[in-house]
Amino acid sequence: MILGKKLVVVLPAYNAAKTLEQTYNEIPFDVVDDVVLVDDASKDDTATLAQRIGIAHVIRHEKNKGYGGNQKTCYDKALSLGADIVVMLHPDYQYTPKLIAPMASIIANEVYPCVLGSRILGGGARKGGMPLYKYISNRALTFVQNVLMGQKLSEYHTGYRAFSKDVLRVVNYHANSDDFVFDNEMLAQIFFAGFQIAEVTCPTKYFPEASSINFQRSVKYGFGVLRVSLSYFLQKLGAGKFKLFDPKT
């Protein structure tokens, strides 16, 4: 726990057997209370390995539900366990688990209700091997998103995130896509609900076993990101109404 608040780490996994154990071994269990792994119908032995190394809560999707669908299961389970703070960490070892404690501490101390691990702050993205075309796309999309949403994030595309239970209970994440644009939809929902988001500098690693999407899916993701930001802009302006921003019922 951190300041009496229960901390749950969720691992949305797909074919993560090669990197899962290394990721898990670096989780700071002096502050983490529970770990949840959701295996999205992996083709390797991710779920079996997760149980073998001692992850208490392992859920396996019999059918692949997509990256967003995986996260929905992660957050539902974390809340059912009584989490006060939830940290989403990819088990592909692209992000260091060593930042779990400081990210969660920002929330536990009630400084911010949501924290992102930014690969852009400090130049970690390119140093860690992010392909140039992805870096340029990241910067261009982030610029447009900040303009449309009136924010100043360094990036919207990191997969390292921490949330207070209040954020997860308010935003209607089940209304989001099951694909990769889920992450951006969720940030738009968080801002729309009036929450603030903090960022911490996060190093990153790009290597063959780290998860990534191909160029075609990256293009689809980029258009999805623009759609989300434009929807936010129009609804804030009163020129449209989108289900994405409907409150939970």
Burial class (CB in 10 A: 0-12, 13-18, 19+), 152: exposed
The C-alpha atoms of residue 152 and residue 198 are separated, in whole angstroms, by 10
Whether residue 69 is predicted with pLDDT greater than 80 in this model: the reply is yes
- pLDDT for the residue numbered 248: 85
Q: How many CA atoms lie within 13 A of 218 on its CB side?
A: 14
Q: 114-118 and 7-13: which strand pairing?
A: unpaired
Q: Could you tell me if residue 2 is inside a domain?
A: no
Q: What is the dihedral of CA 72, 213, 93, 37, to 10 degrees?
A: 20
- pLDDT for the residue numbered 212: 61
Q: Could you tell me if residue 232 is inside a domain?
A: yes
The C-alpha atoms of residue 55 and residue 44 are separated, in whole angstroms, by 17
- pLDDT for the residue numbered 207: 66
Whether residue 77 is predicted with pLDDT greater than 80 in this model: the reply is yes
CATH code, 15: 3.90.550.10
Element (H, E) at 201: strand 197-201
Q: Could you tell me if residue 99 is inside a domain?
A: yes
188-235 confidence digits (pLDDT tens) = 999 999 999 999 999 988 766 665 667 788 889 999 999 999 999 999
Domain range spanning residue 12? 7-245
Domains held by the chain: number = 1
Q: Could you tell me if residue 31 is inside a domain?
A: yes
92-112 confidence digits (pLDDT tens) = 999 999 999 999 999 999 999
* DSSP state, residue 66: H
pLDDT (average), residues 30-57:
97
In degrees, to the nearest 5, what angle opens at C-alpha 99 toward C-alphas 153 and 147?
A: 5
Place of tokens 């060593």: 98
Q: Report the percentage of the chain scoring pLDDT > 70.
A: 97
- Please tell me the least confidently modeled range out of 28-37, 171-180, 194-203, 217-226: 217-226
- Please tell me the least confidently modeled range out of 40-54, 119-133, 168-182, 187-201: 119-133
What residues contact residue 18 under an 8 Å CB cut-off, 6+ apart? 44, 209
Q: Could you tell me if residue 1 is inside a domain?
A: no
Q: Report the percentage of the chain scoring pLDDT > 90.
A: 86
**Is the pLDDT higher at 140 or at 204?**
140
User: What mean pLDDT is reported for the chain?
Assistant: 94
State pTM to two decimals. 0.94
- Phi, psi (degrees; rounded to nearest 5) at 37: -115, 130
pLDDT (average), residues 5-27:
97
- pLDDT for the residue numbered 15: 96
pLDDT (average), residues 154-165:
96
Strands (E) located in 89-168:
114-118, 161-164
Q: Could you tell me if residue 109 is inside a domain?
A: yes
- pLDDT for the residue numbered 116: 98
